[in-house]
Amino acid sequence: MRLKKIKGADEAVEASKYVVHEEDKQFGKWHELFGNQNPIHIEIGMGKGRFLMDLAKQNPQVNYIGIERYSSVLYRALQKMEEEPLTNLFFICMDASTIHQVFAPREVARIYLNFSDPWPKDRHAKRRLTSVEYLKRYHIILTPEGLVEFKTDNEALFDFTLESVAAAGWKLSGCTRDLHHDLQMNQGNVMTEYEERFSTKGNPIYKLIAYR
Ligand code: SAM
């Protein structure tokens, strides 16, 4: 993704009450931060946060955490939160490769991966958020019934993900190569920014839901 560095974004992220700093210190204590025992759902690579904000508004009985590595992108979500604050949503500015050092075993009930960066070169395959390496980290932090929900418009990344899921011994509870024309899988679908952009261009949206 091409990234425009926004002046003041680092400072805004650093000062924001909606961003959890020193996130590794919350390890095993995320429920305390929300002040309840509601399930915790996270989105890795949340971008500007539209998807999570819509979900957080729809589901006050769920706690949400959005993870984004670039402050200039996260900054846009913070601006929206200032306008319309939500008590069941926090953000972390971090690279997800250390996700298992931030969440304790079985602390997370669901992981959303939406339009993840494809990393098309073979030598970068381990960086894909649906690689076996990442699935191993998700296995640690997810509850036994936990789910990974993945959407993309990138067929090669989707095929790669199907292989990773099988190689890691996970199973599929849902899979479609045309989400918006799949009545069952599309029920209650919340669109992401990228999903709207790509589907407007006519690209089919791929989705799978994986569990162990
Ligand atoms: N999920 C949003 C959507 O569907 O509209 C944004 C999709 S955008 C293509 C992918 C986002 O994931 C970017 O903002 C990127 O910075 C973030 N990202 C990619 N790899 C990441 C990682 N390892 N850790 C945290 N964020 C990551």
The enclosing domain of 44 has a CATH number of: 3.40.50.150
Residue 55 covered by a domain? yes
Token code pair at residue 124: 């970068």
Domain limits for position 29: 23-211
Token code pair at residue 75: 């900054």
Region 3-10: mean pLDDT is: 88
Residue reference for tokens 């929900």: 149
* Per-residue model confidence (pLDDT) at position 4: 80
Residue 79 covered by a domain? yes
Amino acid at site 64: Y
How many C-beta atoms surround the C-beta of residue 128 within 10 A? 20
pLDDT band at 5 (very low <50, low <70, confident <90, very high): confident
* Per-residue model confidence (pLDDT) at position 2: 59
| Position in ligand 1 atom list of the atom nearest CA 45 | 12
Residue 18 covered by a domain? no
Residue 44 covered by a domain? yes
Q: From CA 71, how far away is CA 176, in angstroms rounded?
A: 33
Size of the chain, expressed as the number of residues it contains = 212
* Per-residue model confidence (pLDDT) at position 3: 73
Q: Tell whether pTM > 0.85.
A: yes
Number of structural domains the chain divides into: 1
Question: What are the pocket residues of ligand 1 if the criterion is a CB atom closer than 6 Å to any ligand atom?
Answer: 1, 44-47, 67-70, 73, 95-97, 114-117, 192-195
Residue 17 covered by a domain? no
β-pairing, 108-114 vs 40-44, is: parallel
Q: Is 117 a catalytic residue?
A: yes
Catalytic residue (one of 24, 95, 117, 122): 117
